[in-house]
Structure formats: C-alpha cells, structure tokens
C-alpha cells in the first residue's frame, strides 16, 4: 500500500500544492516552521480522519480561508483509490469522500491508508503522564478497530455530560436525578473499552517484546501491563461482568465525585506500564532504555496494523531520526526496509541517499 499523490488546498500553511511520492522513502526537508509536520498531519488525517495535533477540525483550515481540502490517491487493497476530506473553518461538519462517494464516518475509510506516526515526544512516552500513553494507545486502537473508535467517542461524550451534571448540582440539585442513568451507560461503554484494550495491549506487548529482544541482544526481558480500574479483576472477563465491576467502583466513589465535581474513576484513567526484566521503566529506566523500549513499541504498532490490514501501514517519522544515536537510527532504518516511509528533517545529512527528497519552504514545494 502506498500514497501516490497528495493535494492540499488551504490546509494549514499550504495554499495549494500537489505532491507525488515514491512507494519507498520520501524525505521531507525544510527549515523550521515551513510546513513539514503539517504535511505529515495531512497524510495521517487523510488515512484516519483524526489529527495528531489539532483539537478542532477548524484549526487545520488555513488562516482566513472558509474551507480547506486534503485529498490523495492511494494504491491500496490491490487497486487505486481516492480519499478526500473537506474541512470548514466554522461549525459546519467536515465531508468525507471515498472514490467519489460521500461517507458518513471515518470508520468507512478504515484500512485504505493506515499510518503510524513516530515523533520525538514518543521517545519519552514511557516517562510522561498516563494521558499521553492513553492517547498513543487510543490512536492505534482506533485505527485498528472502527467500533472501538465509535465507543471511545461515545464514552467521551457521556463523560462530558456527566461532568456537567457534577458541576451543576451545587446550584441545581435536581440534576442528580439523571446521574444514575449516565453512570450506567458510562460503565457499559467503559466496559467495552476495557475489553478492547486488554486484547490490544496483550498483542502490542508481545510484539514489542520481540523487537526489544532483537534490539537489546536478548539481554532484557520486556513486559507490558495494562492497568485499569482496581475493581476489575480480569480485563478479559465478559463485558457484562466488567460493567458490574465498574458500577461497583463508581458507587464507592459516589460521594467523592459529588464533592470534587469530577469524574474520578473509569477507563479514562487507564494506563500501561513497561518493565525491563521486572524493573519499572517509568521510575527506574535510563534514557537509553526508555528510548529503546519506545522504539520497540512503535515498531510493534506498525506490525499489528500490518497484520490487521494485510499491508504495511505508511510510517511517518517526524524529526525522530535526528534525535537518535547512529545505532538506534540503524535499527529503525533496518526495520523499515519495506513499506512507504515519510521522514521529516531540517538537515538531511546522511538520510538524503535513502530515497526521494522533497524540499518545503513556506508551504510550497521547491
């Protein structure tokens, strides 16, 4: 699978460009703030309908424009396909098109252009807060399972509504009457998330362990543990059991949630830990160990997607190679000999010989 062409109109700092890519390595070179990450964002958005940096769709529309467009031709599933998004600066919902037919949800384009992004922040993801790890896991899982994506969206919507009830109840105690209904729904959808995550993290951990073992010469034993709500005894249990366990936990926190006006417990607090030979990386890992484990996790994400879709996902490396020492660079480059890769960097240096170079300046291709 590979992205053959990309057209941007009023997307971020691009007014109008059309690009052609190689099926192998594409090197995107330019000074700071010229639009390199914007280009990777466009590619990742085209494949998933999700941005890894924008909070709102409108942020991606070029300043001053009413709407923007991202479209591309992809060779995927043994044929040429066209994907197109139209984004609006106001509140109008975006449009999704696949091969000339309008689609309702991004789930309907899943698998056409799967991508995996790797950026410098990911190198430290095992040291940072849980929310970054959740975001990273969710991004991959959403790309693998459109139903998970839908459940996550619903969970977040219910969570927002529940937060509003908890905030409003001081002024208007009658809103509490609808709280049990929200809690039940939250636990039902939350149980579904836990069920998906348990399976996903199990496969991710296995695959990452294999990469880490190659990487460290078999010296360290990599293990990944999924952490969820403490009342959940087995995240692989049937969804009905998980729902009950979540409800039990919520009940115990009922008073505390009212007093703090916050949704204190649920899978929105989930996390995972990585241990090397039994030692928790978050607390004890060296910089090198943390980076190596993070790279193994990324390569594992790519492998899971390749297994799921039967084709290598497009790899997007944003500034990440220049952050790595030559040994780690070589490990990554040796693992990505197949499939399409986009690499951004300011100083191409030793990478120029890898493939096609595309030079970007102020939202234009030179």
Q: Choose among Mg ion, ligand ATP, none what residue 84 binds, the Cβ cut-off being 5 to 8 Å by kind.
A: none
Q: Does 2 bind Mg ion (CB under 5 A)?
A: no
Q: Does 36 bind ligand ATP (CB under 6 A)?
A: yes
Contact pick of 26, 38, 292, 340 for ligand ATP (by CB under 6 A): 38
Question: 201: closest CA among 297, 130, 114?
Answer: 297
HEC-encoded secondary structure of 22-77: CCCEEEEECCCCCCHHHHHHHHHHHHHCCCCCCCCHHHHECCCCCEEEEEEEEEEC
What is the C-alpha separation between 17 and 11, in angstroms, rounded?
10
Burial 218-243 (b: 16+ CB within 10 A, else e): eebebebebebbebbeebebebeebb
Question: 115: closest CA among 63, 158, 155, 72?
Answer: 72
Q: Does 37 bind Mg ion (CB under 5 A)?
A: yes
Q: What tokens were used for 223?
A: 């293990």
- Number of neighbours of residue 261 by Cβ within 10 angstroms: 14
Contact pick of 1, 2, 27, 35 for ligand ATP (by CB under 6 A): 35
Residue number, 12 or 162, with CB nearest to ligand ATP: 12
Residue number, 118 or 155, with CB nearest to Mg ion: 118
* Rg over CA atoms, the chain: 22
Q: Does 366 bind ligand ATP (CB under 6 A)?
A: no
In the complex, minimum distance from the CB of residue 36 to ligand ATP, in angstroms, rounded to a whole number: 3
In the complex, minimum distance from the CB of residue 204 to ligand ATP, in angstroms, rounded to a whole number: 28
Please choose, out of 61-69, 114-122, 135-143, 198-206, the segment that lies near ligand ATP by the rule CB under 6 A: 61-69
Q: Does 340 bind Mg ion (CB under 5 A)?
A: no
Binding residues for ligand ATP (CB under 6 A): 12-13, 30, 32-38, 59, 61-63, 346
Binding residues for Mg ion (CB under 5 A): 37
């Amino acid at each position: 699978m590979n992205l053959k062409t990309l057209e941007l109109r009023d997307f971020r700092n691009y007014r109008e460009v059309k690009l052609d890519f190689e099926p192998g390595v594409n090197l995107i070179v330019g000074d700071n703030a010229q639009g390199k990450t914007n280009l990777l964002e466009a590619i990742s958005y085209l494949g998933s309908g999700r941005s890894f940096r924008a909070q709102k769709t409108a942020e991606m529309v070029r300043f001053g424009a009413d709407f923007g467009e991202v479209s591309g031709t992809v060779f995927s599933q043994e044929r040429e396909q066209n994907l197109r998004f139209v984004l609006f600066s106001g509140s109008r919902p975006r449009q999704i098109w696949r091969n000339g037919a309008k689609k309702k949800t991004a789930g309907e384009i899943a698998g056409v252009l799967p991508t995996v992004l790797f950026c410098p922040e990911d190198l430290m993801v095992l040291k940072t807060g849980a929310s970054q790890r959740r975001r990273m896991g969710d991004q991959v899982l959403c790309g693998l399972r459109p139903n998970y994506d839908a459940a996550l969206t619903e969970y977040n919507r219910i969570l927002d509504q529940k937060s509003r009830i908890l905030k409003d109840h001081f002024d208007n105690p009658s809103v509490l009457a609808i709280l049990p209904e929200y809690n039940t729904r939250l636990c039902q959808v939350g149980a579904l998330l836990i069920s998906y995550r348990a399976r996903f993290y199990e496969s991710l951990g296995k695959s990452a362990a294999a990469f880490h073992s190659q990487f460290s010469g078999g010296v360290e034993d990599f293990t990944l543990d999924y952490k969820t709500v403490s009342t959940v005894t087995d995240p692989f249990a049937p969804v009905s059991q998980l729902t009950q366990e979540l409800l039990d936990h919520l009940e115990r926190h009922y008073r505390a949630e009212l007093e703090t006006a916050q949704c204190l417990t649920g899978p929105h607090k989930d996390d995972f830990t990585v241990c090397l030979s039994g030692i928790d990386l978050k607390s004890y890992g060296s910089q090198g160990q943390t980076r190596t484990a993070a790279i193994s996790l990324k390569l594992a994400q790519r492998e899971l997607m390749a297994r799921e879709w039967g084709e290598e996902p497009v790899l997007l490396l944003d500034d990440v190679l220049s952050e790595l020492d030559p040994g780690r660079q070589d490990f990554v480059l040796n693992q990505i000999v197949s499939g399409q890769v986009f690499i951004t960097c300011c100083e191409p240096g030793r990478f120029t010989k890898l493939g096609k170079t595309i030079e970007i300046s102020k939202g234009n291709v030179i």
